[in-house]
């Protein structure tokens, strides 16, 4: 693999910023210079989906499949890290799903080559308490996320359409409290805005004991306090033997913050929330400019 001069790459492509932001790097300046210059150090790449790898229409660029063989050629594990359901992600990446990793449901359920390698569950009492509280919020639609399926009570057509975008394996049930499964999170939808209508009451009630995090402007997730995309990646670093310095990630929203913090090569998209950008060392072009693939190409393809 060629050595790529990342320190000067920004001069050739002004849309990619490889200048670290100022927040407590875990390695010194000399080490960071070496890391930035050598693509051989990247062994794990994780990317968020909506607002990051996918464009604003939720589409995956066909160029992704042209680049995908480069991961195996360079001994890199590629992971889709998303709030989306595993089964939906596996369908989206059907041509290569047996060759990549899925960090699904915001890090609560991780599958690699068809096998579960990590999960972070909620106990039944916790799920019932969260459901009871969410039911009191006017305009809220609840998705109970299990390992086998997602479960909903609503038959509202607009809500169902939005839910099915992220949960392809989804059952309509009469009572969420009667569902039998291993539960990994509660996802709550509110078309008026998650930060405005969902986060205040849910964080006030559950914020001390559970992760309460926005996944998009209209979605809020409630999960085990130990759960996040970053926690899943840290587990994988320990079990699969790659390091913080060998990890690259891309994100745009609050549920990506821990993932960015778990990666030395952390990229916030140009379209990312401004607060999220403060947690990333580097910048990538926007999702509509194929920013993730642009950075990956600069890493893995010879520079002319």
pTM above 0.95, yes or no: no
pLDDT tens per residue across span 73-115: 999 999 999 999 999 999 999 999 999 999 999 999 999 999 9
pLDDT tens per residue across span 108-158: 999 999 999 999 999 999 999 999 999 999 999 999 999 999 999 999 999
CA distances from 289 to 14, 51, 213, 285, 294 (A): 13, 11, 27, 6, 8
pLDDT at 215: 83
Looking at domain 6-119+228-300, does it have CATH number 3.40.50.1000?
yes
To the nearest 10 degrees (0 to 180), the angle between helices 199-206 and 124-134 is: 140
Higher model confidence: residue 207 or residue 30?
207
pLDDT band at residue 44 under the 50/70/90 scheme: very high
Kindly report which listed range (26-30, 127-131, 194-198, 245-249) carries the lowest average pLDDT score: 26-30
Q: Which CATH architecture has domain 124-224?
A: 2-Layer Sandwich (3.30)
Write out the DSSP string of 181-201.
Answer: S-EEEEEEE-TT-IIIIIHHH
Q: Which residue ranges make up each domain of the chain? A: 6-119+228-300, 124-224
Across 259-289, b (16+ Cβ under 10 Å) vs e yields: bbbbbbbbbbbbbbbeebbebbbbbbbbbee
Paired tokens of 153: 């009570």
pLDDT band at residue 214 under the 50/70/90 scheme: confident
pLDDT at 109: 97
pLDDT at 29 over 80: no
């Amino acid at each position: 693999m060629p050595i790529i001069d990342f320190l000067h790459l920004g001069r050739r492509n002004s849309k990619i910023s490889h200048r670290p932001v100022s927040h407590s790097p875990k390695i010194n300046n000399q080490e960071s210079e070496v890391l930035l210059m050598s693509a051989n150090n990247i062994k794990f790449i994780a990317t968020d989906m909506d607002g990051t790898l996918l464009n604003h229409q939720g589409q995956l660029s066909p160029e992704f499949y042209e680049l995908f063989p480069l991961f195996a050629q360079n001994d890199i594990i590629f992971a889709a890290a998303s709030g989306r359901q595993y089964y939906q992600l596996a369908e989206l990446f059907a041509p290569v799903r047996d060759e990549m990793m899925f960090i699904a449901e915001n890090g609560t359920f991780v599958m690699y080559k068809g096998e579960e390698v990590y999960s972070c569950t909620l106990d039944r009492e916790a799920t019932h308490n969260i459901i009871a509280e969410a039911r009191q919020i006017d305009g809220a639609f609840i998705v109970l996320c299990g390992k086998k399926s997602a479960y909903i009570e609503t038959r509202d057509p607009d809500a169902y359409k939005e839910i099915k975008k992220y949960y392809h394996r989804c059952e309509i049930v009469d009572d969420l409290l009667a569902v039998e499964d291993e539960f990994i999170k509660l996802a709550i939808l509110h078309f008026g805005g998650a930060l405005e209508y969902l986060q205040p009451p849910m964080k006030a009630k559950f914020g001390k004991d559970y992760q309460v995090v926005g996944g998009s402007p209209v979605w809020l997730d409630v999960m085990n306090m130990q759960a996040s995309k970053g926690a899943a990646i840290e587990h994988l670093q320990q079990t699969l033997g790659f390091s913080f310095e060998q990890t690259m990630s891309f994100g745009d929203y609050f549920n990506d913050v821990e993932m960015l913090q778990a990666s030395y090569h952390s990229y916030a998209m140009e379209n990312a929330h401004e607060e999220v950008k403060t947690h990333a060392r580097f910048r990538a072009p926007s999702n509509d400019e194929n920013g993730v693939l642009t950075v990956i190409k600069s890493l893995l393809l010879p520079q002319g």
